[in-house]
């Protein structure tokens, strides 16, 4: 994958439209497995994680077609119930097929996801929740083998932590279970509400999605549906930080501003002016950037997926702040790369102490994960000289046309071959 080259110093302005949310699209593609027939999903981002999920469901026997930003998944007949190691190792979110497979086929074999660059990410809550619904598990040779000998039945499940992935897997299994399932301490992310909306369009009976108690009344079968993916709040937040660093005004469209609540609060505290429309947010900064403490929390708290971008912002703010990461261990790995650009960041456990500096200096840096990669490009926008960002395949996983969109706003950015 070609490096991204950024030359700092340009001010960004104009309008940019965000794609559909990666974290929703991936689960919607998995959910399409629940209904025999052709499900159509619009506003799907053209990113490599979506291509990986398409491979996962194709491997199960679904027929996947893509045209522009529309994907159709024909899950008429499934010929396999296995998500192989090669794909799960490439993308942890492949585990989202576990719930739909046990729901539809009563069995699933999914490679155990290993660790990843943002820490060890366990699946114990997925397992415990599905066990309550009647799934039996065996773990052998690096695989999770799931069967539902007596079929799936509704149950009350309280999650230890509002895990996004566990909530989604439970939801996708519960829609075809016999009886009522109540998921307590469920994740409340907008992507969960989006998944539930598609499942309801497929004939499921779900209430409370988007709140911490979700109730599902199982139905006999689901039918295919058409659904459009919710706008990507994290992509929107990333461009908002780009605007905050360079001044703006930049208008982001295609996103519900309510999904960005806490991000907007923090950007305002940092000295930015925000105006919102029904599906747009505009940011302008005329004064200096102020240091602002942030702690990541499950939605509606400040998203962990915005933490690296916010650290890049705080690296240039006036004063010092503490950024606390409560969701993932190890999500500060990229801070060392930021330090190579002249940032003053000290990591103490799950806190990062960031003292703003007047100038960052362009340097060769390496993406350690998706959001960290985006954050390094953002830092490059305000760094003196040239920043070369390598391992950009991480960025390709989750941002459609990242370089092109930044360039259209006026940034001096290109891929090395371009
Ligand atoms: C999803 C998002 C990711 C986002 C995260 C939190 C996708 C594809 N990814 O990841 O971008 O950063 O939500 O908003 O949608 N945990 C356990 N046991 C479990 C499940 C989770 O201990 O069974 C822990 C994880 O290790 C982590 C925390 O819970 O520390 C949150 O994980 P979770 O909400 O499940 O995130 P993902 O669904 O993996």
**pLDDT (tens digit per residue) in 293-316:** 999 999 999 999 999 999 999 999
156 and 179 in contact (C-beta within 8 Å)?
no
pLDDT of residue 335: 96
pLDDT of residue 200: 98
pLDDT of residue 330: 83
* Top mutation candidate among 27, 131, 163, 262 for ligand 1, by most atoms within 8 Å of CB: 163
pLDDT of residue 285: 96
For the segment 209-223, the average pLDDT, to the nearest whole number, is 98
pLDDT of residue 186: 98
Give nearest CA residue, ligand 1 atom 11.
305
Instruction: Give the closest residue to 368 by CA, choosing from 410, 339, 402.
Output: 339
Whether ligand 1 lies within 6 angstroms of the CB of 165 is answered as: yes
Q: Ligand 1 mean position to 327 CA, how many Å?
A: 8
Give nearest CA residue, ligand 1 atom 19.
123
pLDDT of residue 119: 62
Q: Ligand 1 mean position to 163 CA, how many Å?
A: 5
Whether ligand 1 lies within 6 angstroms of the CB of 161 is answered as: yes
Q: What is the pLDDT of residues 320-336, one digit of tens each?
A: 999 999 999 889 999 99
For the segment 251-259, the average pLDDT, to the nearest whole number, is 98
Those residues whose C-beta lies under 8 Å from the C-beta of residue 29, and which sit 6 or more positions away, are: 41, 44, 50, 53, 54, 57, 64, 71, 73
pLDDT of residue 122: 86
* Top mutation candidate among 135, 161, 194 for ligand 1, by most atoms within 8 Å of CB: 161
Whether ligand 1 lies within 6 angstroms of the CB of 118 is answered as: no
Surface-to-core class of residue 256, CB atoms within 10 Å of its CB (0-12 exposed, 13-18 middle, 19+ buried)? middle
pLDDT of residue 250: 98
* Top mutation candidate among 165, 168, 192 for ligand 1, by most atoms within 8 Å of CB: 165
pLDDT of residue 93: 94
Give nearest CA residue, ligand 1 atom 20.
123
Q: What is the pLDDT of residues 380-407, one digit of tens each?
A: 999 999 999 999 999 999 999 999 999 9
Give nearest CA residue, ligand 1 atom 4.
305
Q: Which atom of ligand 1 is nearest to the CA of 126?
A: 23
Q: Ligand 1 mean position to 13 CA, how many Å?
A: 34
Q: Which atom of ligand 1 is nearest to the CA of 168?
A: 38
Whether ligand 1 lies within 6 angstroms of the CB of 23 is answered as: yes
23 and 45 in contact (C-beta within 8 Å)?
no
Q: Assess whether pLDDT exceeds 80 at residue 120.
A: no
Whether ligand 1 lies within 6 angstroms of the CB of 122 is answered as: yes
Whether ligand 1 lies within 6 angstroms of the CB of 121 is answered as: yes
Q: Which atom of ligand 1 is nearest to the CA of 96?
A: 8
Q: What is the pLDDT of residues 82-103, one digit of tens each?
A: 999 999 999 999 999 999 999 9
Whether ligand 1 lies within 6 angstroms of the CB of 296 is answered as: no
More confident residue, 112 or 251: 251
Rounded to two decimals, the pTM is 0.97
Which are the catalytic amino acids? 116
pLDDT tier at 9, thresholds 50, 70, 90 = very high
C-alpha distance across the termini of the chain, in Å = 12
Q: Assess whether pLDDT exceeds 80 at residue 353.
A: yes
């Amino acid at each position: 994958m070609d490096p991204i080259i950024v030359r700092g110093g340009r001010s960004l302005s104009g309008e940019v439209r965000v794609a559909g949310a990666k974290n929703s699209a991936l689960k919607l593609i998995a959910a399409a497995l629940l209904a025999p027939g052709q499900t159509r999903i619009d506003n799907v981002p053209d990113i490599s994680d979506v291509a990986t999920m398409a491979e996962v469901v194709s491997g199960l026997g679904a027929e996947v077609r893509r045209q522009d930003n529309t994907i159709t998944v024909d899950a008429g007949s499934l010929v396999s119930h296995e998500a192989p190691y090669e794909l799960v190792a490439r993308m942890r979110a492949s585990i989202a097929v576990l719930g739909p497979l046990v729901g539809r086929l009563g069995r699933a074999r999914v490679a155990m996801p290993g660790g990843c660059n943002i820490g060890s990410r366990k699946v114990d809550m997925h397992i415990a929740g599905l066990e309550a619904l009647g799934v039996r598990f065996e773990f052998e040779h690096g695989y999770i083998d799931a069967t539902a000998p007596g079929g799936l039945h509704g149950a009350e499940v309280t999650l230890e932590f509002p895990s996004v992935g566990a909530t989604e897997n439970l939801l996708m299994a519960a829609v075809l279970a016999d009886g009522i399932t109540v998921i307590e301490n469920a994740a409340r992310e907008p992507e969960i509400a989006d998944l539930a909306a598609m499942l309801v369009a497929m004939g499921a009976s779900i209430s409370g999605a988007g709140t911490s108690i979700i109730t599902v009344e199982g139905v006999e079968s689901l039918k295919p549906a058409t659904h459009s993916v919710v706008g990507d709040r994290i992509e929107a937040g990333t461009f908002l930080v780009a605007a905050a660093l360079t001044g703006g005004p930049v208008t982001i469209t295609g996103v519900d501003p309510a999904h960005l609540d806490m991000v907007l609060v923090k950007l305002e505290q940092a000295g930015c002016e925000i105006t919102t429309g029904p599906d747009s947010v505009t940011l302008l900064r005329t004064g200096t950037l102020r240091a602002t403490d942030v702690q990541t929390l499950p939605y509606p708290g400040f998203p962990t997926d915005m933490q690296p971008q916010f650290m890049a912002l705080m690296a240039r703010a006036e004063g010092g702040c503490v950024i606390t990461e409560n969701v993932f261990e190890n999500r500060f790995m990229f801070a060392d790369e930021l330090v190579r650009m002249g940032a003053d960041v000290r990591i103490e456990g799950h806190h990062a102490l960031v003292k703003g500096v007047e100038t960052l200096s362009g340097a060769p840096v390496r993406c350690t994960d998706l959001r960290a990669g985006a954050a390094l490009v953002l830092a490059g926008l305000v760094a003196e000289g040239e920043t070369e960002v390598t391992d950009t395949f991480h960025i390709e996983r989750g941002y459609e046309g990242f370089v092109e969109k930044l360039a259209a706003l006026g940034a001096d950015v290109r891929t090395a071959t371009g």
